[in-house]
Amino acid sequence: MENLFTDPFNILLIAAFIGFFMAFGIGANDVANSMGTSVGARALTIKQAILIAAVFEFLGAFLAGGEVTSTIRKGIVDPNLYTDQVNIFVIGMMSALLAGGTWLYIASLRGWPVSTTHSIVGAIIGFVLITKGVDAVSWGKVSNIAMSWVTSPLFSGILAFSLYISAKKLILDRANPGKAAITFIPFYSFLVAVVISLVTARKGLKHVGIEWTENEVYLFTFIFSIIVAIGTSYFLRRNKEKINGVGGIEFAFGLLMIVSASAMAFAHGSNDVANAIGPLAAIVSVVDTGTVGSKATISPWVLFIGGIGIVFGLATLGSRVIATVGRKITELTPSLGFSAEMATASTVVAATYLGFPISTTHTLVGGVIGVGLAKGAEHLDWSSVGRIIASWLVTIPAGAAFTIMFFYILKYSVGV
């Protein structure tokens, strides 16, 4: 493979293109996790959802995507195992990205909401298995990630259930729900803003050269959240007559869904961009240093490619999976959709904050099931839930199988 490494620029160009392809798949498939509930609840049209998601998915990826990336890049396998096999390692990371992107593209065409985290983790496991064997996989890390695939939807479901019950008691079931909505919805808006601004200030801004003290982080979070709450309150009061009319309470929650959808898109971009740029960052590190396993910072251009790829995939192919998530699990209203989105965004942001790659697909489905149960179990389409879970089970072996195929194609193409 000496011919491939004679020009590092060519390696970076190929890797960037493949990383973009994987990010495209994430945008096409996983965007449903940030926008499906808003569209399903009819708080946003598909065009509006795509526009909002494009902005906040990119900001989440670019500003806060570096934390989870290190886990994907070096957590599943010890890179030092490939110290003397730099070529093999680079081919493996490229194969993993191709595999994940291919599976996501296939699933998106069919409207299957699969896990992008599953896709890339399965892909990397496939690479390690065929090059180093079963013992080389960091099964402890894998088991921790796998545990999150159970705990994250459970936590999200409980939180979504609780949020919806609180909204029912504080607003929906009150004698004057319009007045209650104007009073309490700004507080919910404040909580959404806290979630999005805290992770941005503490974890994200350092990737663009801004480092704040703990007190500055809290001050920024408080001021930003207060501004969002005041803005929400102002808008609600301006639309007081509409809110007090027939079905107006759901209009008020529709406004809140726009805020929570923005937070969800930001959270999703921050967490799932790692699935595209983790292996890409590993390749860049090898090209920059000539060795495997060195600690390298995540280059801003790598995060930029991940963010742009997500937006492009969302805009061109995202509507198919949005329809599945937004309408086929349960019938959503803005109040239900907000509860599911807020719970999912909080869970994903917390995981991103801890550097823990979870599946936003699992987390959102847990949230939607949680609000469905708050309405009553009979309101859930369990057959759709079953089909979604079945698509999850196929994802890991599919990712591994595609990796093996692409690995051998690339390996023999370059003569390694």
In whole angstroms, give the CA distance from residue 406 to residue 216. 47
Write down the pLDDT at residue 226. 96
H-run or E-run covering 217: helix 214-238
Of 337, 339, 360, 361, the closest CA to residue 350 belongs to 360
Place of tokens 């001050």: 219
Return the amino acid letter for 124. Answer: I
In whole angstroms, give the CA distance from residue 313 to residue 31. 9
Of 4, 59, 49, the closest CA to residue 308 belongs to 59
In whole angstroms, give the CA distance from residue 206 to residue 62. 11
Instruction: DSSP letter for 115, please.
Output: -
**414: how many CB neighbours lie within 10 A of its CB?**
15
Write down the pLDDT at residue 4. 53
**132: how many CB neighbours lie within 10 A of its CB?**
17
Contact 207, 300 (CB under 8 A): yes
186 by Cβ neighbours in 10 Å (0-12 / 13-18 / 19+) ranks as buried
In whole angstroms, give the CA distance from residue 342 to residue 258. 11
Write down the pLDDT at residue 74. 47
The answer for residues whose C-beta is within 8 angstroms of residue 382's C-beta and 6 or more apart is none
In whole angstroms, give the CA distance from residue 289 to residue 305. 21
DSSP count for the chain of H helices, then E strands: 17, 0
Of 181, 185, 195, 193, the closest CA to residue 228 belongs to 193
Q: Strand locations in 58-209, DSSP E?
A: none
In whole angstroms, give the CA distance from residue 276 to residue 297. 16
Question: What does the pLDDT profile of the chain (416 residues) look like in tens digits?
Answer: 444 556 777 788 888 899 899 889 988 887 766 788 888 888 888 888 888 888 887 777 777 665 555 545 446 777 777 778 888 888 988 899 999 999 999 999 888 888 887 888 889 899 999 998 888 887 887 787 777 777 888 889 999 999 999 999 999 889 888 899 899 999 998 988 887 787 667 655 655 566 788 888 889 899 999 999 999 999 888 888 888 776 678 888 887 788 777 877 776 777 666 666 777 777 777 777 767 665 555 677 877 888 788 888 888 888 888 877 777 788 888 888 889 888 887 887 777 677 676 777 788 888 989 998 988 888 888 888 888 888 878 888 899 999 999 999 988 887 66
In whole angstroms, give the CA distance from residue 126 to residue 140. 16
Contact 26, 103 (CB under 8 A): no
Write down the pLDDT at residue 384. 82
Place of tokens 């979070």: 221
Compute φ and ψ for 330, nearest 5 degrees: -160, 160
340 by Cβ neighbours in 10 Å (0-12 / 13-18 / 19+) ranks as buried
How many residues would you count in the chain?
A: 416
How big is the CA angle at 111 (ends 106 and 113), to the nearest 5 degrees? 90
Write down the pLDDT at residue 223. 94
Q: Where are the domains of the chain?
A: 7-413
Write down the pLDDT at residue 204. 57
